[in-house]
Amino acid sequence: MTTGADSLELLLRCAVLFRLIAQGFAWPYPSHRQVLLQQLEAIPLEHLAPDIGTAAAQLRQAWSCYDDERLQLDHSRLFHGQAAIALHETAYGDGRRMGGQPVEMADINGFYRAFGFDLATEQRERPDYLGTELEFYSLLLVKQAYAMDQVWLEQEQVTAKASHDFLAQHLGRWVASLVEEIRQKESSPDAPATPYQALSTLLMVAVTVECRRRSVTPVPFTGRLPLDETMQGDTLICPRDGHDHGESKQ
């Protein structure tokens, strides 16, 4: 599944981008905003694709206009409580997701186990949490880059295929529905993008560019499942109870 579009530098920049987005959706602890802004300044994201550079610039501007307290209020308003936007894959779907939540969870965990990606023992988030999936995808890109650097052709092909399949079967299928929910809740005529609206735009652009680069055409889910068909983890987990989504066995 390795293609001419892959290069060591490109893979590592993409890995940093997906991990940055994962951290952006985490609970905004004090200095969280400043750390994200520093990372945005340090990474030449515009070299990945023009759309990514534009979205990153919009994110930088949106987050610069907020302080930590206001960011926490927005996170709580959007992702916690009765009308929360779900940050979990299995909250989305339709008739095209035939297996149901247990099958989807088992498949996601299968990807994680195959690459030594263990959920941190103190982390109470589910495997299908957005941040965990993004960090896992970032890990796959790092592993592919390392295999490429070591000229381990088989390992490079295995990790490239895994990232292709994870995009096609999981991450690439539900992100558009999530981003649309955030857009509908946050968009306001003539108003600048809010931090999480800008972050979700960068997420959508990054996944779209990555699918195009890897020739992945996911079959997207359309909208949310009924509330009685999915557990809303966002409403059950205190956002302050840990923020490391996963650990990798190196």
Do 178 and 127 meet the contact criterion of CB atoms below 8 Å apart? no
Rounded to whole angstroms, the Cα distance separating 175 from 177 reads 5
Q: Which residue has the tokens 């709580």?
A: 76
Residue 98 sits in a domain whose CATH number is 1.10.3480.10
Backbone angles phi, psi at 88, to 5 degrees: -125, 135
Residue numbers of the chain with a pLDDT score lower than 70: 1-5, 94-99, 120-123, 189, 222-250
Rounded to whole angstroms, the Cα distance separating 7 from 19 reads 18
Tell me if 222 is assigned to some domain. Answer: yes
Tell me if 62 is assigned to some domain. Answer: yes
pLDDT of residue 240: 45
Strand extents, DSSP E, 34-126: 117-118
pLDDT of residue 79: 95
Tell me if 3 is assigned to some domain. Answer: no
Do 197 and 186 meet the contact criterion of CB atoms below 8 Å apart? yes
Rounded to whole angstroms, the Cα distance separating 46 from 55 reads 9
Structure tokens belonging to residue 180: 């649309």
pLDDT of residue 219: 82
Tell me if 1 is assigned to some domain. Answer: no
The count of domains in the chain is: 1
Tell me if 44 is assigned to some domain. Answer: yes
- Residue 155's contacts (CB-CB under 8 Å, 6 or more residues apart) are 143, 147
Tell me if 227 is assigned to some domain. Answer: yes
CB count within 10 Å of CB 102 equals: 9
pLDDT of residue 239: 44
List, for residues 158-213, the tens digit of each pLDDT value: 999 999 999 999 999 999 999 999 999 987 767 788 999 999 999 999 999 999 99
Tell me if 2 is assigned to some domain. Answer: no
Of 155, 154, 117, 157, the residue nearest 134 (C-alpha) = 117
Per the structure, the complete domain to which residue 149 belongs is given by 8-245
Alpha helix (H) ranges present in 150-186?
153-166, 172-186
Q: Using only C-alpha atoms, what is the Rg of the chain?
A: 17
Tell me if 250 is assigned to some domain. Answer: no
